[in-house]
Amino acid sequence: MLNLFSVSSIQRRDSTSQRGVKRAALHNSIKRRQATALHSAASSAPHSTISMDDFTLLSTTPYVFDRLRGDIRVYDSLPSTNTLLKQLAGSGGQEGLCVIADEQTAGRGRHQRQWISTRGEGLYLSVLLRPQIALDRLPLISFLGAVAMARAVSKVTKPVRAVNVDIKWPNDLLVNGKKACGVLVESGLVGDRVAYVILGVGLNLYHQTFPNGLLYPATSLLLETGERLARINVVSEFLRAMDKSYQAFEQNPSSIVEEWASLSSFVHGKWVRISLGDRTIEGITRGVRADGALRRARRDRDAPRR
């Protein structure tokens, strides 16, 4: 396998003009720093924090793994990385193309909810996939995102502080019981064929506070570890984990469900209340089906009353 982050081009974009910025100056400064950073990103040794502007470095880094490869396009500010990547997918973007923004002005969660995407504090990333799968397998892609991010967060936090990483069904990543990451999957169909899938992840890295009234208590990796973990390392580990799980997924889509279940404490014996648009279901979890649906015992049968 080729390790990622061989530097070959500069892809930093201005969100309004779409022009590369100060390429020569950037290139020189990157050249000075790249040796250290690439070592840090590609090393299998424990990741440490790096103080340099790793966001700038990200913009210089096409990546190559066994299955997934592509450009990483980095923007200072976008309405939403998913929205831009959807446009790029529609105009022939290659599988693996990755869009990252330092801030999102209209970051989205599921069901048109807002995703808090403050400048410089999180990882807001979308990756383009073109899986050859049946339509009914599409929901499993969000499992892919949650699994890859769970693996990445475990890897980067491990050398710094022991934290509990868990996945709440279907795709919230919890760190020490609070939400640190969400996954938003959107797709484009041609007839009944999946033409593209946009897998968007938002991870709270350096947030110190969150507004009241969120659906679930929120946290960041800084709050849980006390460290400003480098974004470039998280991206590197996320894409590495994606590559591995995506290969397994292509051979056997339900393999991702098993992987997901091995990382989630919500699969067995957890009280859940799930909103399905116009109705809410609740009960105690009793495993997960191959299509990703939760098995549960209904409240009126054997779940405790609240």
| Site residues for ligand BT5 per CB under 6 A | 80-82, 104, 107-111, 113-116, 124-126, 172, 179, 182-184, 200-202, 204, 214-215, 218
Q: Minimum distance from CB of 27 to ligand BT5 (Å)?
A: 27
Task: Determine contact, residues 292/139, Cβ cutoff 8 Å.
Answer: yes
Pick between residue 34 and residue 54 the one whose CB is nearest to ligand BT5.
54
Q: Minimum distance from CB of 249 to ligand BT5 (Å)?
A: 20
Pick between residue 80 and residue 236 the one whose CB is nearest to ligand BT5.
80
Q: Minimum distance from CB of 86 to ligand BT5 (Å)?
A: 10
Q: Minimum distance from CB of 94 to ligand BT5 (Å)?
A: 19
Phi-psi group of 283: left, alpha or beta (phi > 0 → left; psi -120 to 50 → alpha; rest → beta): left
Q: Minimum distance from CB of 82 to ligand BT5 (Å)?
A: 4
Euclidean distance between CA atoms 124 and 120, whole angstroms: 10
* Chain position whose Cβ is nearest to ligand BT5: 182
Pick between residue 34 and residue 142 the one whose CB is nearest to ligand BT5.
142
| DSSP collapsed to 3 states, the chain | CCCCCCCCCCCEECCCCCCECCHHHHHHHHHHHHHHHHHHHHCCCCCCCCCCCHHHHHCCCCEECCCCEECEEEEEEECCHHHHHHHHHHCCCCCCCEEEEEEECCCECHHHCECCCCCCCEEEEEEEECCCCCHHHCCHHHHHHHHHHHHHHHHHHCCCCCCCEEEECCCEEEECCEEEEEEEEEEEEECCEEEEEEEEEEEECCCCCCCCCCCCCECCHHHHHCCCCCHHHHHHHHHHHHHHHHHHHHHCCCHHHHHHHHHCCCCEEEEEEEEECCEEEEEEEEEECCCCCEEEEEHHHHCCCC
Kindly state the tokens that stand for 219: 């946290």
Q: Minimum distance from CB of 182 to ligand BT5 (Å)?
A: 2
Pick between residue 141 and residue 183 the one whose CB is nearest to ligand BT5.
183
Pick between residue 38 and residue 141 the one whose CB is nearest to ligand BT5.
141
Pick between residue 40 and residue 86 the one whose CB is nearest to ligand BT5.
86
Pick between residue 111 and residue 301 the one whose CB is nearest to ligand BT5.
111
Q: Minimum distance from CB of 277 to ligand BT5 (Å)?
A: 12
Pick between residue 38 and residue 184 the one whose CB is nearest to ligand BT5.
184
Task: Determine contact, residues 170/219, Cβ cutoff 8 Å.
Answer: no
Q: Minimum distance from CB of 216 to ligand BT5 (Å)?
A: 6
